Structure 1
């Protein structure tokens, strides 16, 4: 855990997200990064419920500066890509426009009526059950079980098949195409979440699992754009490969069902690396969109 934690802190410092051990939130507050001791204590407190998730391969630590402005985080991500290219000339990146973002992301998490809501129960403009970033930050203030300004996740790593050898988790597991995934875990075997479902189908799987302790997906959460950006930076730094490189016909574009855009079309965020044009895409699609090359991953939030 310490090795993973130190690596995450180092990355967040290098890219300029973490300054003097903290981030600046959209509300103007300063949010210190959770300490290793706080995370270790949380893992210990939840050890019984997390045992099944660990057995299913959720061992990769991700520290996400949720409270940051998404616009600031996107610009930081762009600068990370350009710096990575300078240090790794063989990385094939469009340096003129490395990050292509749908216009709806601009200012989506800030202002008096943010367009982006988090952790929705449905992808509908009315009755979605989600909350704005400002609302979540306010709730975190009074919640002893949260890390104010941050979310802390466990994901399945890219070296999932060697986790029983005590090897350090590296990178993030890809999203398998339909029929290509491998079940994980012995306590409650977890069938892989494969591509080619509607985003609201994936959301339905998640909701049913919340109420069913025997579900292989119990205790899991959909990712947000903030999560995916940190996951991409981590994955590229550790594996030298871009995340969700779907044009290799093995990986998939990632729906990000931990958030959605309030609009007449109820846009669900998605993200990927497009090898053909050498760029990262932050985009979105309707809840009835599907494709053989679009899937998603869940995380365990601690």
Structure 2
């Protein structure tokens, strides 16, 4: 009698009933689910980290609206220095002008008075406690500036344009004490009574008071959140520069930036000062603290740079 052999089950039934297949499918599902959860957690972590980082957003002056038409060229040489300082706390303006003849005594007296008023204003601005800003104008040697830029790149908050550079620097207070950095001038301002600060240093012509060669600093405080400060900084420069026809003409340029700093970090901007003023009375402009850099052989040779630093203290 022949032995009976049942018909073999289809291959797919054998495959489905195989316990090894069940284990493999379960492992695959667990793996896919775990990978999804990991990716979602990483995304949340990056979002939180990006919100906590200091931030600088710099807009190139190339994207700004065209500057206003240049003012007419002054007809007489300007021989007096002026220091103009205004703020929303109570505007204060100190201006000195003189004619091109017999002006030395007037210039000397005016500069002395301007510096005295300027010093008094800074003392009043910093009197008392509370959050305050310190704006530092300095001459920085190229090697030192390179180190500052490297530190800023490390934060991921560094921007470099053809016109200027800006960024966040960790531990700025200590870095300012390193070799290669020469402080030219400091401005300290309390933030308890005003959200807008403005001051300027330049040389004004009596025959055309609307023209003042120099730099104006604008700072607008957007928000103070605990230890952090967010704000807008804009440097406006009016300078005598080479024109397209080969001569010198008055040009106005703006260098804006948005920053967020804390007492542990600082902000810097470099590249806003040409190496020469191209003025006939360059010595009078260089008598102002921030423009003493114009007398520096290193600056004229391109071996150093004019840099503006911003520090914040919330105490």
TM bracket (short chain): under 0.3
TM-score (norm 2): 0.24
Q: Which has the larger radius of gyration?
A: 2
TM-score (norm 1): 0.25
